[in-house]
């Protein structure tokens, strides 16, 4: 991970300027404020600001439901009830703003989650750093033969070395040409907004990303999943650790009902009822396609 001297100076200044506040404070989150969490070879995630905590979720729910929550005896129980029954609005009362440094190809996956506010480093205005994501050898894998968007067996030996050499050499060559094109040494130089098109997708960019907790948990459910691409999953894993410290009751419920739970169709539930009665259920008499049955069996373990 690489922080510029200016970024490190900003972090040191902000962490050294504690101020009293009347707003709700989450002690677990305070330790994360401004500190950069390393991700990949040059990337990071750091918390810039946040609003709310577990109590804010409960406060919003009780305003909304009034006497309907009287049977819930504590905040953790209420949060689990909200998560279990997909009552999402109270979770929107919490927000987080992150500063993320990530490869461009990861950013293009990330931006598909269109429920956040994003402000990205401008390569029209500024010059991108000579920093590229080069995978660790163990992260190199062949194309999966069963999943068109997944990885297969790991590359090893000379094949892995060849791929790493191509990635490094091509990235450096592209950046050399980028610098040459924007150079103003004795000539006008190409506009930065045009020169940037020659840069590879593994170059690092940065952005501020602000999102509410409901939409953040949706992002984490998809991107922290074992089926997600490794390069975005490690960012999601880092954010999961932050969220667990920020809203521990909400995160525990999220792990239980979303990450560790499963959604079953009416047909799947009917199959489970038949199994519990002792009936032998197979794919042929289940009413499911082969793909559905395979996923169903996978859920049952």
Backbone angles phi, psi at 54, to 5 degrees: -55, -40
Q: Which residue out of 80, 196, 223, 258 is catalytically annotated?
A: 223
Pair 239, 223: CB distance under 8 Å: no
Catalytic residue check, 112:
no
Residue from 298, 292, 299 nearest 267 by CA:
292
CB-count exposure of residue 49 (10 Å: 0-12, 13-18, 19+):
middle
Q: Which residues are catalytic?
A: 223
């Amino acid at each position: 991970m690489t922080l510029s001297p200016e970024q490190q100076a900003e972090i040191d200044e902000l962490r050294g300027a504690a101020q009293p506040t009347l707003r709700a404070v989450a002690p677990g989150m305070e330790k994360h404020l401004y500190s950069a969490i390393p991700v990949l070879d040059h990337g990071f995630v750091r918390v810039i600001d946040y609003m709310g905590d577990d109590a804010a979720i409960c406060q919003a729910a009780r305003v909304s439901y009034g006497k309907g929550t009287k049977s819930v005896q504590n905040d953790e129980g209420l949060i689990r009830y909200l998560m279990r029954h997909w009552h999402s609005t109270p979770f929107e009362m919490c927000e987080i703003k992150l500063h993320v440094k990530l490869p461009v190809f990861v950013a293009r996956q990330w931006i598909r989650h269109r429920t956040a506010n994003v402000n990205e480093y401008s390569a029209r205005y500024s010059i991108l750093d000579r920093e590229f994501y080069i995978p660790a050898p163990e992260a190199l894998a062949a194309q999966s033969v069963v999943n068109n968007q997944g990885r297969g067996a790991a590359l090893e030996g000379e094949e892995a070395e060849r791929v790493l050499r191509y990635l490094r050499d091509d990235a450096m060559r592209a950046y050399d040409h980028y610098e040459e094109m924007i150079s103003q040494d004795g000539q006008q130089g190409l506009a930065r907004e045009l020169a940037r098109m020659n840069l590879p997708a593994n170059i690092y960019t940065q952005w501020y990303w602000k999102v509410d907790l409901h939409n953040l948990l949706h992002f984490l459910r998809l991107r922290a999943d074992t089926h997600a691409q490794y390069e975005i999953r490690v960012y999601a894993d880092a954010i999961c650790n932050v969220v667990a410290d920020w809203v521990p009751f909400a995160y525990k419920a999220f792990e239980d009902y979303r990450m560790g739970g499963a959604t079953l169709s009416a047909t799947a539930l009917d199959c489970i009822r038949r199994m519990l009665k002792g009936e032998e259920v197979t794919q042929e008499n289940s009413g499911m396609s082969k793909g559905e049955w395979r996923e169903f069996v996978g859920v049952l373990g």
